[in-house]
Amino acid sequence: MNSTSFIQVELRPDGILLLTIDRVAQYNALSIATVEELEHLLHQAKSRKEVRAILLTGAGNKAFVAGADINEFKLLSPTESRAFAERGQRVLQLLEQMPVPVVAAINGFALGGGCELALACHIRIASENAQLGLPEVKLGIIPGYGGTQRLTQLVGRGQALELMLTGNPINATEALRIGLVNRVVPAEQLLPISIELLGTMLERAPFALTKVLEATAAAQQGGDQGYRVEAAAFEACCQLTDFQEGVQAFVEKRKPAFTGQ
């Protein structure tokens, strides 16, 4: 996979696909072209077995993604603005539904569309200098890339409303307190710790990882759907040789050798 115009691409030997949004002069703002490139790369990644996890970050040391590119949507017609939001929603849903673990390494500002991008990742690791928020009301609009939905699900309605109705950003420490990020780490350790975390996950049974992601996604649908998906996933895992290998390795007090079969 080759780097594109605004996204650096590196497939590491361990199977981690490192995607770096690279528009440093614009604080890595999400242009329409960048969103389209991300969609293309995610479709590619989904079809390649060698991609076992995704790590998403921003170039430079100031911003993960500072937001959507205001210059591109400030003059949109009502119809065009709806299409603009729906395009972003589609791409972030694709990211959220990836069958492999996705970690956001938040290295600075993650505002507006950037915060929404981080919310669509499965896990968020923030550097100590990170700032997160959804400031759209200050522009007379609301989050349009799924932020109203994912933030509410992640931190609860009250915390989400406070962030979105004030539009004020919060620092990494506060983001950790309310559950918006999983960890806060020194800036120089952000990528190494994120890679280490993904490496730990990749030592586990790959099919089981995918089924965990499917079951937790189903939890958002409400009712009994999540339980049904969980039971079916449990059954599917029990049919694989990886399950037998995991049990045998546990009994023999050794590290399992999972194959994905």
From the candidates 116, 128, 235, 245, which is the catalytic residue? 116
pLDDT value, residue 2: 63
Which pTM does this prediction carry?
0.94
25 alpha-carbon distance from chain centroid = 23
Would you list the domain boundaries of the chain?
7-202, 206-251
pLDDT value, residue 70: 82
From the candidates 50, 136, 188, 203, which is the catalytic residue? 136
Active site includes 116? yes
Q: Which of 11, 49, 96 is nearest to 206 (CA)?
A: 49
Q: Which residues of the chain fall below pLDDT 50?
A: none
pLDDT value, residue 3: 61
Q: Which of 128, 103, 114 is nearest to 189 (CA)?
A: 128
pLDDT value, residue 222: 76
pLDDT value, residue 1: 64
What single string gives the DSSP state of each residue in 100-140?
S-EEEEE-SEEETHHHHHHHHSSEEEEETT-EEE--GGGGT
Q: Which of 90, 67, 91 is nearest to 141 (CA)?
A: 67
Q: Which two tokens stand for residue 201?
A: 């996950």
Active site includes 136? yes
Q: Express each pLDDT in 55-81 by its tens digit.
A: 999 999 999 999 988 888 778 888 989
Integer angstrom CA distances of residue 46 from 40, 148, 204: 10, 26, 19
Bridge partners (DSSP) of residue 17 are: 11, 54
What residues contact 111, with CB distance under 8 A and at least 6 apart?
65, 66, 67, 131, 132, 133, 134, 135, 169
pLDDT value, residue 24: 93
Topology of domain 7-202, CATH: 2-enoyl-CoA Hydratase; Chain A, domain 1 (3.90.226)
pLDDT value, residue 257: 87
Question: What is d(CA 120, CA 140) in angstroms, rounded to the nearest whole number?
Answer: 23
The DSSP H or E segment spanning 65 is strand 63-65
